[in-house]
Chain A
């Protein structure tokens, strides 16, 4: 005899059971949940890879779900904290060091040890470097790539300027050459600028400017901010400030806020961009030829910024081995060829794919695939640690007046940034 009370309990239990994801569906397939962010085109690509994976793994189903990029970090952290995170997640490297310390992600070394010999050796070392914590791999690198310059070929030709890619091939593409081009390609009509030579990248995309002058803002251990005592780093900041306020060849925040000045609009000759921006440009640019060239070199080097995302397995996943199968596939040759060659969404992390004729030969711009590979070869990883969010916020605030308002000197901004950040780093973490 079922009493009314028991019925209530039963239905409550049923409700709860309905809320919990069951890992097997009617066809006996195990579901792996995978969370990522991106625009619709980008996600279609990932769905496609997931479909391919399901074809070769009939016992598995990939439940891909998307969270808008702007709220992704919040959602990710709350899910991890409340133990409701999916089996596989994509994490931007900006956040990875802060999260991996909390034991959220599975140590992949035991799983990698079971792979055939030479598995790890096929990956670009800098790509794996980002994924290590305490010397052990806790992720695989996806959407890897660096910063290079996208340039509007037509504007260069119309102005009769030498092609920046050829200059770079001839080892003549340094800051001065870049500045000369940026100045020549900035057009004014009366007191209005109608075309700019270059975009103004936000930090850390322009870190190469001070690296290549031989300077840096942080010490190697990431414990001290050294900008104010580093004349070369200060020169780098001066270069950036001058680009906007002395030469006026990059749009001010007010100009940029209009969105009229974007690389796609054809009103900006050079754009500092990640490899991942290629699909967007391919889709939107119909009216002019464009391509890529490395960022300018400096007297002390030819580095550029390199960064990827991390594909991690949830420490508490019920099926770590199956999740690993998917991670392995996402970073495997087939998926990398799709992502890298077909969609140009990233630079392959596998050396074997980097040399694949399908990747090297492109039938749509950018044709200089070698520049992507060059970027990876010259690339330096960013000084991102668990406190990066805090100090980069302070750095941006201190340089706001310099880059975005133009109301202070480089020396002053460097002093302010160094004082504030060192005070922050000296203070106890977490307060």
Chain B
């Protein structure tokens, strides 16, 4: 098969996906870029230049409030989630009897639909009857009001985000761990390295591409947190859990400000693009690709 024929075949074979991407992702994205320069309430459309961006960046206190809330959420939930997923993956990578059962058990919570788990967590966080404060009272601590107190509501959502540490991130880590060759460990053990040293000098460097991948996806995903706040608090109390995407949703579907909401979406997109770019720049310092060129 010539170069040309094979590239044609390649194109032909990905065309369903390509069409879907152009029609359902790229098209709407471009449309929303245009809308972000308009005043649009689903009914009348008026071009207003950069006004939506100006309003958001200079005159809308809730924009900054929601961005601050989301940044805090990302700052805590991403490192905690990554560490948690990695530790569980390491545990589930041991050669113990019945490991498939354990793997299934740890993966189960992430299969629960987000809405259902949010409803369950509302009970967990209940100040008087919740299991969390009950456990705290057993060790003599008077638990906070969690979701009902502006001081602890965001923390509650961060704690709840750890519900997902046994999910797909853990699976990706597990796959990464399986890819670390046993020879390396054997060689290190011959040189007298203990478990921790092995983890520090073999597991982590060998896993660094996987960690990097999960970090990028984790940051992007956490910036888009919506469901838990939407279901559990509606952004309250006193805007303590008003997340960026929740505020975007309110602007679009409650206040009919679709232009402003589109502008928010693009600001988020550009921020995430920037974040990811910085990550990739830094990656060369700590991510090690086997067989890749070291710079």
Interface residues of A (CB under 8 A from B): 73-74, 77-78, 80-81, 98, 102-104, 252-255, 257-258, 389-390, 393, 396-398, 400-401, 404-405, 407, 427, 430-431
Contact = CB atoms under 8 A, between A and B. Distances in A.
B260 A431 contact: yes
A396 B250 CA distance: 14
Contacts of B43: 81, 102-104
A420 to B, nearest CB: 8
A30 B101 CA distance: 59
Contacts of A400: 150, 236-238
Given A393-B254, A397-B238, A405 B42 contact: no
B259 A254 contact: no
Contacts of A407: 150
A389 B256 CA distance: 10
Contacts of A404: 148, 236-237
Interface residues of B, number: 31
Nearest to A408: B238
**Binding site of B, secondary structure by majority: helix, strand, loop or mixed?**
loop
B6 interface: no
A397 B145 CA distance: 18
Given A404-B148, A431-B51, A254 B254 contact: no
Given A405-B149, A427-B59, A397 B255 contact: no
Contact of B145 (A77, A254, A396): A254
B239 interface: yes
A103 B41 CA distance: 13
A401 B127 contact: no
A401 B59 CA distance: 24
Contacts of B126: 254, 257-258
A430 to B, nearest CB: 5
B104 interface: no
Contact of A431 (B39, B237, B238, B253): B39
B257 interface: yes
A51 B121 CA distance: 43
A393 B44 contact: no
Contacts of A74: 253
5 contacts: A80-B42, A254-B148, A396-B236, A397-B239, A398-B238
A31 B44 CA distance: 30
Contact of A77 (B39, B42, B149): B42
Nearest to B55: A431
A252 B149 CA distance: 12
Contact of A78 (B42, B250, B259): B42
B1 interface: no
Q: Which 8 A-B pairs have the closest CB atoms?
A: A81-B42, A102-B43, A254-B127, A400-B237, A431-B55, A400-B238, A430-B39, A389-B254
B93 interface: no
Contacts of A396: 236
A160 to B, nearest CB: 30
Nearest to B257: A430
Contacts of A389: 254-255
A104 B128 CA distance: 48
Given A102-B41, A257-B126, A397 B236 contact: yes
Contacts of A397: 235-236, 238-239
B66 interface: no
Nearest to A390: B255
Nearest to A78: B42
B224 interface: no
Given A102-B43, A253-B148, 18 more contacts: A73-B253, A102-B41, A254-B145, A257-B122, A393-B250, A396-B236, A398-B238, A400-B150, A400-B236, A400-B238, A404-B237, A405-B149, A405-B150, A405-B237, A430-B256, A430-B259, A430-B260, A431-B39
